[in-house]
Copies of this chain bind each other. A is one copy, B any other.
Amino acid sequence: MPGISSLKAELGDAIITDEKEMIPYMSDASYFPGQMPEAVCIPNTVDQVSRILRFCNDNDVPVVVRGGGTSLTGASIPVEGSVVLSMARFDRILEIRTDDKYAVVEPGVRLDRLNSELSRYGHFYPPDPASSMAATVGGSISTNAGGLRAAMYGTTKNWVLGLEVVIPNGKVLWLGGKTLKRTSGYDLTALFVGSEGTLGVITKAVLKIWPLPEARGRISAYFDRIESVGLATAELKKRGKVPMIAEFLDRIAMDSLEHTRGIRFPQDAEYLLLVDIASTRESLKRELEEAVGIIGEFSPSQISYTTDREEMERMYAARKGAYSSLLEERKDSSERVIIGDVVVPASRLPEALRRIRDLIRERGFRASLFGHIGDGNIHINLYADPGKREVMEEVDRLQLEIGRIAVSLEGSVSAEHGIGMEKIGLLREELRMRDSEYVIDIMRAIKATFDPKGILNRGKVFP
């Protein structure tokens, strides 16, 4: 790469060009193979980020910004001739203010670490993707991560107050800030949330934080019919009982958790619905019993609740590990678990779940369904070998059809994993079905405003 030596001289230990050392930066949690980058930069300062971007912009070098590398859609995969910009050294929590309800953090801070720190003050940062142990603040902002608690607290977009960003021309800008309210021109902070590293590099984030709920309990209900899981969830919400968390797991997912975590589930149960209710200490029992009553109307084979913290923690960790546990259920070590991420309004869940399950069966795939059912988010986990071209074409066709089901039920092809490399065709299909293809042109023009040469995360999001 021409001129790389000048960048090396400027960056010192903040740049790697040794191929062996760069191998870990070629892949993320998706099944997409990446290219060997030209260099990996691991900057220490905002000024270095600015210099790197200016260099790449001047020399038309593609840049892939990398957080925890937990993308499931290939959003962090380097293309040929690119520079990977790892934000791993931006890992400081700079400020926590419980009176002002914000924390200022660097983008490389991992979500679990942030929440462990906030819990010392009785507060938390609600967005909680299952990958929170490894996922970073920057990456989770870039995909508008949702996770387990979004049923009550919404997704990342509701929790980002401000950002310091560096754009390709090297300028450092503050968007938004430390206040809970602001109406001063276009909300560029919101534009960065979910932009998958295509507009600029986040170097600081002001996150809104919130007091932990006073008391919490968990209901476990087992069902034979997948529709009942959806009906019970929708009815709970209809009656004004917004769950803090509402998750479901199918039999394959339960089996995998038995095998990897030693958690026992009733042998004859097909589906598990987990519902967390947050309340005050005086009202928790009554609210749990009301919710049990509502869920009970849909004939669960078993239903119970607990307020035992240890039991709750163990199951929470297990649910978060469900995706990796599924790997244990592979029939063959060349198989991967390819995860889908559609979302529909809660009332459409019974139909969506049934149609998706039937379609998968019809196509002869082995798959596990689980998801954040409280906000209508269904993850479809397909077992397939990414090395087999014909199988993968089948997978793509199936994903497209599942996406169409979601959109036809007023949902979306992507709830929280983003578009990355994987869902470019799905995004286009969603916009086509909604008669809004021109939205892609607008997005492209906005992208060009920040990044006229298109150096940032080339080959992602846009067709």
Query: Which A residues fall within an 8 A CB radius of B?
Result: 97-102, 122-123, 143-144, 146, 150-151, 154-155, 157-158, 171-175, 177-188, 190-191, 193-195, 208, 210-212, 234-235, 237-238, 240-242, 279-283, 286-287, 343-348, 372, 375-377, 410-419, 423, 427, 430, 434-436, 438-440, 442-443, 445-447, 449-450, 461
Question: Assuming the A-B contacts A375-B181, A436-B174, A439-B188, are A100 and B346 also in contact, with contact meaning beta carbons closer than 8 angstroms in the complex?
Answer: yes
Question: Assuming the A-B contacts A100-B347, A235-B99, A443-B188, are A182 and B279 also in contact, with contact meaning beta carbons closer than 8 angstroms in the complex?
Answer: no
Q: List 9 A-B contacts (CB under 8 A).
A: A98-B237, A98-B240, A99-B234, A99-B345, A100-B376, A102-B345, A155-B180, A186-B194, A280-B282
Judging by beta carbons under 8 Å apart, are B182 and A434 in contact? no
Q: How many Å lie between the Cα of A386 and that of B97 in the bound state?
A: 41
Complex contacts, A414 vs chain B, CB 8 Å: 182-184
Q: How many Å lie between the Cα of A195 and that of B143 in the bound state?
A: 23
Complex contacts, A423 vs chain B, CB 8 Å: 184
Complex contacts, A154 vs chain B, CB 8 Å: 158, 180, 208
Judging by beta carbons under 8 Å apart, are A443 and B179 in contact? no
Q: How many Å lie between the Cα of A150 and that of B347 in the bound state?
A: 28
Complex contacts, A187 vs chain B, CB 8 Å: 144, 157, 190-191, 193-194
Kindly name the residue among A158, A280, A417 whose own CB sees the greatest number of chain B CB atoms within 10 A.
A280
Complex contacts, A184 vs chain B, CB 8 Å: 412-414, 419, 423, 427, 430
Judging by beta carbons under 8 Å apart, are A182 and B415 in contact? yes
Q: How far is the CB of A432 from chain B (nearest CB, A)?
A: 12
Q: How far is the CB of A256 from chain B (nearest CB, A)?
A: 24
Q: How many Å lie between the Cα of A158 and that of B179 in the bound state?
A: 14
Kindly name the residue among A183, A237, A430 whose own CB sees the greatest number of chain B CB atoms within 10 A.
A183
Complex contacts, A436 vs chain B, CB 8 Å: 173-175
What is the count of identical protomers in the complex? 2
Question: Assuming the A-B contacts A190-B190, A240-B123, A280-B287, are A415 and B343 also in contact, with contact meaning beta carbons closer than 8 angstroms in the complex?
Answer: no
The 3 closest A-B pairs by CB, nearest first: A190-B190, A211-B240, A280-B283
Complex contacts, A193 vs chain B, CB 8 Å: 187, 190
CB closest chain-B residue, reference A282: B282
Judging by beta carbons under 8 Å apart, are A186 and B195 in contact? yes
Complex contacts, A346 vs chain B, CB 8 Å: 99-101
Q: A157-B187, A185-B440 are in contact. List 9 more A-B contacts (CB 8 A).
A: A99-B234, A143-B183, A151-B180, A174-B435, A178-B345, A183-B194, A184-B430, A188-B443, A280-B287
CB closest chain-B residue, reference A242: B211
Q: How many Å lie between the Cα of A155 and that of B415 in the bound state?
A: 22
Judging by beta carbons under 8 Å apart, are A98 and B155 in contact? no
CB closest chain-B residue, reference A210: B242
Complex contacts, A151 vs chain B, CB 8 Å: 180
Judging by beta carbons under 8 Å apart, are B99 and A347 in contact? yes
Complex contacts, A183 vs chain B, CB 8 Å: 143-144, 146, 155, 194, 414-419
Q: How many Å lie between the Cα of A279 and that of B208 in the bound state?
A: 21
Q: How far is the CB of A191 from chain B (nearest CB, A)?
A: 6
Judging by beta carbons under 8 Å apart, are B282 and A178 in contact? no
Judging by beta carbons under 8 Å apart, are B180 and A150 in contact? yes
Complex contacts, A415 vs chain B, CB 8 Å: 179, 181-183
Complex contacts, A372 vs chain B, CB 8 Å: 181
Judging by beta carbons under 8 Å apart, are A191 and B182 in contact? no
Q: How many Å lie between the Cα of A376 and that of B144 in the bound state?
A: 26
